[in-house]
Structure 1
Amino acid sequence: MRNLRLKIQYDGSRYLGWQRLGNSDMTIQGKLEDVVCRMTGEDISIVGSGRTDAGVHARGQVANFITSSTMTLGEMKSYMNHYLPKDIVIWDVSEAPERFHSRYNVKGKKYSYYLWTGEVQPPFVRKYSWHFEEILDLGKIKEASAILMGTHDFIGFSSLKKTKKSTVRRLDSIELGMDGDMLVLSFIGDGFLHNMVRILTGTLIEIGTRKMTLERIEEIFRSGIRSEAGITVPPHGLFLEEVYY
């Protein structure tokens, strides 16, 4: 048996997210499993590094599956890219160690959120960035980012209800990049709760527009109350950039 690792890029615009859902065939996992099962003639389950929500994109999603197929890696890559929809691309196929698990072995992830801050948003970026026209104080956003970084209980910055599982995560960095009118907020951490990046982004935006004070961040850490944090920004500006092992 072979354990194969995939690096996947996808435009999530028309999909219901990564995870296969019941009878719907509009998920990334579902599309991949259908093609891989046909390719190998086996009943294959594909494991992803984590779920991305409906409308979220990926440049560096990682997945793995077990197969007895004798096809070469090149043949598999060509087959999958031929039969997959053109908005899902297999960027790399490689042999992985027997015990490699794309979800359990993750050490960290990088997500980026794209905001178009100009008065008029070009049609070519509208599916991949949120148009936000209000003036942002980038200095305040940097101050807030410094407070958010580190190891904290981030449940107040997520869509999760109370859970027995730990909601403590380590946020290693938040970087701001400006390319013309495109503002990019990049988050690197050891793991992210449901909607955490989108809520952190919404919180930083509200601080950047002075609708929220810096002091609120510590209050949210203490209370763990979701409604005290910022908005959940739309999914189409979010990209899973890289998964670290």
Structure 2
Amino acid sequence: MGTLVSFQAHPDDESITVGATLAKAAAAGHRVVLVFATRGELGEPVPGVLAVGEQLPVRRSAECFASAAALGAKRVEFLGWTDSGMMGEPANAEPYCFWQADVEHAARRLAVILDEEEPDVLTVYDDNGGYGHPDHIQVHRVGNRAARLAGVPVVAQSTFPRELVRARLAERLPEGVEPPAIDVDTFGKPEAEITHRVLAAGHAAAKRASMLAHRSQMADDHFLLTLPDEAFAAMMGTEHYVVDPLPVDVPELFTDLFTPAR
């Protein structure tokens, strides 16, 4: 059996981006580890979800452990930077936010965990962070550098197939379901750039449970949570990656989980 470490920017990112992959890996007996750059301090809490005096980053940290349990992850770590906010916001300039972190320093901190775990695969985001969020872009930079420092064989960049997203948003959705407002021209990557997929519709229930663990961020009327089980599995049960290059000796964990896109 192998080990998969998933490096994420904020609590709940693991659910949406790679939750089915992590659940499939854990169900197959592989070790799954989650590492978060921040505790999502600048997230907008669902109205009424926080108790009086409850701090959002404390709540979101706890939600990470509940999500990990739903996915089958065995370890959760936080690197300690703060949420940078969306691109162009004043929070991007705060000296302690992840966007301002020195890449080499942050990579060495992540590499300590990677050295301990000796993963076969590390997941990060694509070079635009999926949709341009500064913390996601920084995860790409820091994760790739840390993988080189620790000698991780495979770095899998989580992304979304742009053409498929555009087609799905154009489909007739169930009554009352409102899709998110996203820039489909920059969201994810073109299909031609995607190298691998993880086919994990059978683990969509674990992915939904992971999302439900993040109640401070996802209300019952969240776009994805309102989808019927079958539609949710169809939309969220296949996850997409850019993997380049692959080593000569591909780890068994990778071949167990990842399918070539072409």
TM-score higher than 0.5 here? no
Larger Rg: 1
Between Structure 1 and Structure 2, which shows a larger proportion of helix residues?
2
